[in-house]
Structure 1
């Protein structure tokens, strides 16, 4: 049934032809009250009005205007109303529903004038053999009532057409709104995907920068002691292998998010404060002495804060190895406050003597420091980076716990 209705909406001339055909057959019945040229006009109207009905929705302004001209001609030529006159009601509806504004107003005016014109041109008192009216006919109040009754069907059809136009405009607006909401939903989905990809890019940067720097340090050490201490070289190679496997696992999990429609939380690794000792042990194995201090009541934190702390420490220590110089030492302090978490990473490296920040440095592209600021900003925290008294640099991040929950 739905398909049939959709097909009929796409082919309105079929529906209009189904209405016009019965009207044509009924209108062709001879009118015994008229003869001569009036009968010819009767048959012309009987054919033309149904034909106009077939094309009324394709050419509403033209068909309604022609139908209105035929109606005026019928009144002026004194051709009695017949079955074909029912078509005028259809055109009153058509002008209001599908026609231009001026056509709609013309249909309303014609509908209001239909009753008075009919009473004036075809009085009910009768006519003689020459067509002259005889008798007194109805009184003025009766004529006025008859005129109103004859105009009422035209006005009702016009009002029905206006309601159809309003309903159609409302449906079009609903369709436009639905299409707009769909476009907005697609746009929001694209923004969410872009944000997720940016987050994954930050994760990849931290994973690759940290693990690759560890592997480079271990490889340099292994090459240095290979001839004199094969056992230390073997241990360094084992560290390189385990670090590479760990980096590969994390990268596979991260890149897997880009190939699946599932949520990232199910696949993306979410290291936190509890994994910091393992990270620092890995850094110490790579040759960077790191002191780790915690204060306050250690407790479970929101996952966003946990990941932010881990990545900040990881990126800061990576920069220490890159820019801190020889014999550099680092210190990591985590303070669990009641309403905020403070993270401090500082070192005693070369500072800015070579034009680079130590803990605050970048990887040459500036993504390290930018990534830190983005992560801290995502949890409504603050980040302070600057020189450390006595040499070196320090990073201090304050993450509000209530805002992050």
Structure 2
């Protein structure tokens, strides 16, 4: 991926290239100015630090400047340009100059932006080998030119003076060094010593760039991990909200279905007894009022479950449990429904979740009997307390579930969700003598050991 263009980076690299150019050619300009005033003092220094007169030198310098300017936007191309310019300078002058510092800077950028450390290491090794080969070739080429000039001068002198009597006649003049002298150990070691500073700069630039790459990769990994954790936290919060909404919806269904069913039956009874038995109608209407108020109170408690105001919490009604089952049965009996309660085993305290779920199961099962079992139908409620579990069984003698349906309404679906949430078992279906039967088994977890302080 090509980095986006940033004007600030471009201007910074352009200023850096200008500084390197000034530091490289500045001494030559100063010495030329001093040579006019005092030529004897500056003559010797001017021979070593004069302005480059070779046109190729300036071409290679332009390549270096261009590579330095674009290094943060096109690192591979910048390395090629800066490398070509530096190799050209090493071949022409056979020495390292200040302008050639652009090569380590570009190599730093390549190492910092590389995606593969092995590839950047290979680029470093190739750059070091090419610098060595270029300087060695430049020195050999310079010596060959020097020997060629010396041979031409000797030949011209002999032609001008003529052959000397008694001197051997030369068939030819050697114009280059022998292969043994070209690859001598002293020459190879000397070239390596001349490149020590440049190599150290290249290695240091690569090390700094690679450490920056590693740091950026680590920060990117940390940011990605943080983003993943934040996304997981949002997902958990969304799931918790969905679960809470489902719980509130289920509670509201139980409260509304039971309350409205009882109120409808009571209102029907009051309507039927209004003319002949006004006292019974008044009693039925009073039951309607009581049931409506109770249902409204439970609805307010459920809808206010998300409030955090402690003052509001003190006015909320407590959650119902098995101890509220007798009041529920009395409420249903007031509608004329026959309900029998049987308790098997020794009643014991159960966890709050099991207590609330058992009450809601009883409430929904008896409400279904009231709505769907038919006129004159009765129900038998049996609570079975056993070690490690609580059994709830409701059987009616009416015409069946929901007037002939399969018993898969919203109420039974809510009961199934409650039982599954607690890890219990649920059985529903028609009973043998007729009617509908529901049996739920809720596990009671054993008491956990107290946590040591």
Match of 1:89 in 2: 104
Contact 2:373–2:401 (8 Å) recurs in 1 = no
Q: 2:247 aligns with which of 199, 203, 227?
A: 199
Shift, 1:220, TM fit: 0.2
Q: 1:347 aligns with which of 381, 384, 396?
A: 396
Match of 2:424 in 1: 381
Q: Tell me the secondary structure at the aligned position of residue 27 of structure 2.
A: coil
Q: 1:202 to 1:322 in 2, by over 3 A?
A: same
Match of 2:89 in 1: 74
Shift, 1:161, TM fit: 2.2
Q: Tell me the secondary structure at the aligned position of residue 184 of structure 1.
A: helix
Equivalents in 2 of 1:100, 1:398: separation in Å? 60
Equivalents in 2 of 1:130, 1:329: separation in Å? 126
Match of 2:411 in 1: 368
Compute the RMSD of aligned alpha carbons. 3.7
- Is 1:27 aligned to residue 24 of structure 2? yes
Deviations 1:48-97 (A, max 9, x none): 64564343112212222111111122123337432112221111212222
Q: Tell me the secondary structure at the aligned position of residue 402 of structure 1.
A: coil
Match of 2:263 in 1: 215
Shift, 1:379, TM fit: 0.5
1:232-243, aligned counterparts within 5 Å?
Answer: 232-243=280-291
Q: 1:338 aligns with which of 362, 366, 387?
A: 387
Equivalents in 2 of 1:10, 1:209: separation in Å? 69
Q: Tell me the secondary structure at the aligned position of residue 301 of structure 1.
A: coil
TM-score (norm 1): 0.81
Select the structure of larger CA radius of gyration: 2
Shift, 1:122, TM fit: 4.9
Contact 2:374–2:403 (8 Å) recurs in 1 = no
Q: Point out where structure 2 has 5 or more consecutive residues left out of the alignment.
A: 1-5, 29-45, 151-175, 449-453
Match of 2:362 in 1: 313
Equivalents in 2 of 1:66, 1:261: separation in Å? 67
- Is 1:111 aligned to residue 128 of structure 2? yes
Which one is further off, 86-95 or 292-301?
292-301
TM-score (norm 2): 0.73
Equivalents in 1 of 2:57, 2:124: separation in Å? 23
Q: Tell me the secondary structure at the aligned position of residue 372 of structure 1.
A: helix
Shift, 1:128, TM fit: 7.6
Equivalents in 1 of 2:84, 2:105: separation in Å? 15
Equivalents in 2 of 1:226, 1:131: separation in Å? 137
Deviations 1:208-246 (A, max 9, x none): 110000000010011011111222211211211121122
Deviations 1:320-378 (A, max 9, x none): 11122222222212122111111111222223695247xxx46xxx1111111111011
Contact 1:254–1:268 (8 Å) recurs in 2 = no
Q: Tell me the secondary structure at the aligned position of residue 304 of structure 2.
A: helix
Which one is further off, 188-197 or 165-174?
165-174
Match of 1:160 in 2: 208
Contact 2:23–2:98 (8 Å) recurs in 1 = yes
Equivalents in 1 of 2:62, 2:191: separation in Å? 32
Q: 1:202 to 1:92 in 2, by over 3 A?
A: same
Q: Point out where structure 1 has 5 or more consecutive residues left out of the alignment.
A: 1-8
Q: Tell me the secondary structure at the aligned position of residue 139 of structure 1.
A: helix
Q: Tell me the secondary structure at the aligned position of residue 308 of structure 1.
A: helix
Equivalents in 2 of 1:39, 1:168: separation in Å? 43
Equivalents in 1 of 2:247, 2:296: separation in Å? 18
Q: 2:350 aligns with which of 301, 316, 320?
A: 301
Equivalents in 2 of 1:168, 1:131: separation in Å? 56
Equivalents in 1 of 2:447, 2:362: separation in Å? 19
Shift, 1:249, TM fit: 2.1
- Is 1:230 aligned to residue 245 of structure 2? no
Shift, 1:156, TM fit: 3.1
Contact 1:302–1:404 (8 Å) recurs in 2 = no
Deviations 1:114-162 (A, max 9, x none): 2454355359x99989999999998257437526734233133223323
Shift, 1:289, TM fit: 2.1
Contact 2:389–2:443 (8 Å) recurs in 1 = yes
Deviations 1:144-199 (A, max 9, x none): 75267342331332233233223322322222222122222212221221121112
Equivalents in 1 of 2:70, 2:434: separation in Å? 91
Equivalents in 2 of 1:48, 1:336: separation in Å? 92
Q: 1:273 aligns with which of 305, 322, 329?
A: 322
